[in-house]
Amino acid sequence: TGLLQCCDVKDIKLAYQLNRALEKGDNWKFLDVDQLNGYWSKFFSLLCMMEQIEVVLKWYKEMSSSLFYPTPKNILDLLQALDAANQLEVIPSVW
């Protein structure tokens, strides 16, 4: 779907625009559970790759508690982002 393509092409600006559209009203109801999980997983991986670690951690705390269950790839992406930002001491707080 178009939601996943913006993440595949690494377009963070478009991903944020689509996310805002998805959050408006009941738009999220147009996607089934598998599509939503796929979207959130790819969106989070893109955040890990393209955003500052503070932004990644903010999204992780918001998303993992209510929007999606992180996949092993999401956890690996988060660990790589923490490593790249020299923030490995944060690992216990996200585990």
Burial class (CB in 10 A: 0-12, 13-18, 19+), 24: exposed
CA 67 to chain centre: 10
pLDDT per position as a tens digit, 36-73: 888 888 889 999 999 999 999 999 988 876 777 888 99
**pTM of full prediction above 0.95:** no
CA distances from 73 to 21, 28, 31, 78, 92 (A): 25, 23, 22, 9, 18
Q: Which of 42, 58, 48, 59 is nearest to 85 (CA)?
A: 48
Instruction: State residue 91 phi and psi, 5-degree precision.
Output: -50, -45
Please say if the pLDDT value at position 29 is more than 70.
yes
pLDDT per position as a tens digit, 77-90: 999 999 999 999 99
Cβ contacts of residue 74 below 8 Å, gap of 6+? 41, 44, 45, 48
* C-alpha gyration radius of the chain: 13
